[in-house]
Amino acid sequence: MADFAPDVWTHPRLMAAVFEEDWGAVFRTYRRLTGVSQMTLGARVGLVQPDVSEIERGRRRVTSVEVRQRIVAGLGIPPERLPGAVAEGDALPVPGLAFAGVTPDEDLLARVTTAVDGAHRVDGATLDWLDRLLAEHRRAEDFIGSAPLVEVMGQQLRTVVDLYAGARGPLAGRVVRLASEHAQFLAWMAQDQGRSAAALAWYDRSHEWALEAGDADMAATTLSMKAHMAWSGGRGRRCVRLAEAARWSAPGASPGVQGMAAQMAARGHALNREGDAARRLLDEAQDLITHAATRPEDEPPWMYFYDDTWFTLQHGMAAMHLGAWRTATRHLTSGLAALPPNYRRDRAWYRSCLAHAHAAAGEAEQSLAAALASVPDASDVGRPHAWHELHTTAAVLLRRGAAEGRELMDALQAHD
């Protein structure tokens, strides 16, 4: 549903602009043919309106591969129109996924289609279905990883943004809230793939829409996730500041969302080797999680993963930063034992962390066992993070003179 004028890509001027990768001409011609505004076009390709204007005027060039990919996907440019397109009959990537039980019936599909085309107003049933579809995609990503879902989620967000024109009254706010949730999910998937710039841009967009919709839970969540990015990059002080901002800037957030922010601040302090502050905030986060568990219906849908098991695993991560290796292995082992098998990506990550903790504790055999258990999933759905952690584990073992280090390196090289 990226473009609702299928013949637009047969227009000779637009075809020539795409082939020459003259993105300013692509934007100008596309808007002239479809009648969309710079703001709508920007929403489809993940750019703000001033950037679209600068590109159209030739004052800014598109040099980033990531931005180019967003334009191609966002405007629905057919692969055969691109330079170097594959020949007819060659394999092309699967364009999307379908999940049993979330396909709309004929009546709902008609309402979705006509709402997007602007012929009718948006109704609650349409938004209920999109809510459910987003929830299904979130859970699918836990198992298959983010790579297969990026394109389909981008298409879904464009559908939601286009619904805004037909929304009235309370439904308009609900559409903005739904757009914010989609943008947050896209940000997380970009972060998972190591595309930090794209992730930050999507988190900013999600935060802006959350504020517009008055959604304290999502506004706080986006700041906590940016704190997580800072933590992933080894920036403990920034992690703490963003996590604290998530708490004071959204006092109306749910206990679970507040607990997430508290444990993120704890991990930032742990990264800085500030043990007392880390332990105090972990205790506070535990109280908030316990409170949230008494009323799960009050938590936003994207917090489905946030429970005592997840917190136990995060406790293990904080212990790793503080050099409490056996405490870390205890928490990580306990958390992994309770983690459901459908969390395939998370199992790869936490197993790789457990392997690292065992290696640092001098437990080479246990480290190798955990690492080898992680390798298949880390290779398939856990790159780049779990894969990098396994290489770090091998380096720790080799520095300690453990033969298991070479065995692990061989296993990693076999999957490279």
Secondary element (H or E) of residue 282: helix 275-294
Structure confidence by residue, pLDDT tens digits, 318-328? 999 999 999 99
Q: What percent of the chain has pLDDT over 70?
A: 87
Give per-residue pLDDT as tens, 343-367: 888 999 999 999 999 999 999 999 9
Sign of CA dihedral 44, 45, 48, 53: negative
What band does 415 get if pLDDT is binned at 50, 70 and 90?
A: confident
- Tell me what the mean pLDDT of segment 166-174 comes to: 83
| Burial class of 113 by CB neighbour count within 10 A (0 to 12, 13 to 18, 19+) | middle
pLDDT at residue number 106: 54
∠ CA 105-145-87, nearest 5°, is 80
Asked if residue 217 has pLDDT above 90, the reply is yes
Query: SS3 sequence, 124-143?
Result: HHHHHHHHHHHHHHHHHHHH
Lowest mean pLDDT among 27-36, 94-103, 141-150, 175-184: 94-103
Instruction: Tell me, yes or no, if the pTM score tops 0.75.
Output: no
Average pLDDT of span 43-64: 86
The residue among 233, 231, 294, 295 whose CA lies nearest residue 263 is 231
Where is 40: in which H helix or E strand?
helix 38-45
What average pLDDT does the segment 235-244 reach? 96
The more confident residue out of 408 and 109 is: 408
Which one has a higher pLDDT value, 3 or 55? Answer: 55
Q: Is the pLDDT of residue 74 over 90?
A: no
Contact indicator for 290, 282 with CB cutoff of 8 Å: no
Task: Look at residue 83 and tell me whether its pLDDT is greater than 90.
Answer: no
Mean pLDDT over the full length of the chain? 85
By the 8 A CB rule, do 407 and 394 touch? no
Residue 126 pLDDT > 60, yes or no? yes
More confident residue, 385 or 337: 337
Q: Looking at domain 6-81, what is its CATH homologous superfamily?
A: lambda repressor-like DNA-binding domains (1.10.260.40)
CA-based nearest residue to 304, from 256, 362, 351: 256
CA–CA gap between residue 7 and residue 9 (Å, rounded): 5
Q: What is the mean pLDDT of residues 387-415?
A: 93
Confidence of residue 113 (pLDDT cuts 50, 70, 90): low
Total Cβ atoms within 10 A of residue 273: 11
Question: Using CA atoms, how far apart are residues 224 and 230, in angstroms rounded to an integer?
Answer: 10
Q: What radius of gyration, in Å, describes the C-alpha atoms of the chain?
A: 23
Q: Confidence band (pLDDT; 50, 70, 90) for 144?
A: confident
2 has pLDDT over 70: no
Percent of the chain with pLDDT over 90: 46
pLDDT, mean of residues 88-112: 42
The whole-number pLDDT of residue 347 equals 92
pLDDT of residue 382: 67
Whether 84 has a pLDDT exceeding 90, the answer reads no
338: pLDDT strictly greater than 70: yes
Q: In the prediction, which pLDDT does 92 show?
A: 30
Lowest mean pLDDT among 65-69, 94-98, 279-283, 375-379: 94-98
CB atoms within 10 A of CB 1: 12
Please state the rounded mean pLDDT for residues 213-218: 94
**Whole-number pLDDT of residue 86:** 39
pLDDT, mean of residues 185-200: 89
